Amino acid sequence: MSVTRFRFPFVEMPPEATQLRQEVREFLAQERANGGYTPMADCWAGGMSAEFSRKLGQRGWLGMTWDKKYGGHGRSFLERYVVTEEMLAAGAPVMAHWIADRQSGPQIIKNAAPEVRDAIIPRIVSGDCFCAIGMSEPGTGSDLASVSTRAEKVEGGWKVNGTKLWSTGAHGPGCDYMITLLRTSPLDTSARHKGLSQFIIDLNTPGVDVRGIADIGGQVHFNETNFEDVFVPDSHVLGEVGGGWNMVVGELALERSGPERFLSTFIVLQEAMRLLVNNPTEQTKEVLGQVVAKIKTLRRMSLGIAGLLQEGSSPEMEAALVKDMSTNFERELLEKLRRILPQNVLYSSAGLLPTLLREGVLRVPSSTLRGGTNEVLKGMIARQLGIR
């Protein structure tokens, strides 16, 4: 018996992507040397810098894959992959634009009314407009179909009431829109996925109240957003009324297999290497071999999925597998590094490496939660394997 259930084809970067990689590396090295940024762990969900995002916009590194007729750059998925993985490996502050660039933009291009699309997309591409995701709620985490924030039909639009939670970056400067999943018909308990719709809500509308929530490290990167009789015009419904569920499922698939799932703590390894190269023990060698073997394998898998997406397949099981393994690895990497780093690095609260390590440890619990908990992912994998 020999079955090949999983496909992660070899992807060779085209010459233009390799060329682009050099440009990105030079830019990052220069920015880091100039104090344009200080590397951080989990930079895509905790490193907010509107200024840095605008610089990327100026370079043409936002909205890269979007069609030129909408204001994008018409470049390949692999070129975008190169830019994102370089940013992540360097620990650059890419949080401000991350959501808009990764999923809101593609969603708006695909499903928004043309005039709304044309008003928003060019501003995302230039790095002047950011987006947040409004999926979770106080009573809704993994069980997304249980959302109860509602939109009622009124003259010319909809009236929104309720609360969204964990919207990363919604409080940030320039975060103008939240792509929000709302209940537009009363809950039918026999068909909970029906009656949900997605809206583009302008966060500057009266009645919207965004409040930051501090995480366990005291950092504010996510939010609670209250909507009180917020008016949303008909033009800002995304796609069909009632078609929100399928849209959200597709969006989550996009979220799952990117390099941000295994590289969130990579910068800690890179900086630790500066110390570890001196008189390495056998244990140090073993740990470095193990973690680099995992990174290389996860990258192969993640890139293989990018290749499949580029050729038009939808490798859902592969994406779920990779996210589950990758996010576990982000934590494991820190745990392994602790075993081989000198004590004074672990005790210290000053200096780049101790800061990165602490930041990493304090942020990594969110890795296995965001974008679908690992338990939910395992359930999806089991279903795909045919046992559930």
Partner 1 sequence: MTDSDNIIFDTASRIFDDLSTAEVINDAEAGTWPEALWQAISESGLSLTWVPEDNGGIGATMLDGFAVLKAAGGAAVPVPLAETLFAGWLLAQAGLQVSGETVTVAVGEFSLADGKLSGSAQGVPYARNTKQIVALVETAGKVQVVQVATEQCELIEQANMAGEPADTINFNAVAVVQAGEPAEGFNGENVVAMGALIRCVQAAGALSTALELTIEYSMERVQFGRAIGKFQALQHSIAAFAGEVAAINAAADAAAEAVARAPSIDHEAWIEIATAKTRLEEAVNNGAAVAHQVHGAMGFTYEHSLHHVTRRLWSWRDEFGSDVVWARRLGEEVLSWGADELWPRITAVTDAR
Please give the residue ranges that form the binding site for partner 1 (CB under 8 A).
1-6, 8, 10-15, 17-18, 21, 25, 85, 89, 266, 269-271, 273-274, 276-277, 280, 282, 284-290, 292-301, 303-304, 317-318, 321-322, 324-325, 375, 377-379, 381-382, 385-388
Q: What distance in Å separates the CA atoms of residue 141 and residue 342, rounded to the nearest whole number?
A: 39
Nearer to partner 1, 208 or 340 (CB): 340
Q: What distance in Å separates the CA atoms of residue 28 and residue 168, rounded to the nearest whole number?
A: 24
> How far, in whole angstroms, is CA 283 from its chain's centroid?
34
| CB 240, min distance to partner 1, A | 33
Nearer to partner 1, 11 or 48 (CB): 11
Tokens representing residue 306 in the block: 């990018």
Nearer to partner 1, 89 or 124 (CB): 89
Closest of 289, 294, 284 to residue 328, by C-alpha: 294
Nearer to partner 1, 32 or 193 (CB): 32
| CB 17, min distance to partner 1, A | 7
| CB 23, min distance to partner 1, A | 13
> How far, in whole angstroms, is CA 313 from its chain's centroid?
21
| CB 323, min distance to partner 1, A | 10
| CB 108, min distance to partner 1, A | 31
| CB 380, min distance to partner 1, A | 8
| CB 344, min distance to partner 1, A | 18
Nearer to partner 1, 227 or 329 (CB): 329
Nearer to partner 1, 42 or 224 (CB): 42
Nearer to partner 1, 9 or 156 (CB): 9
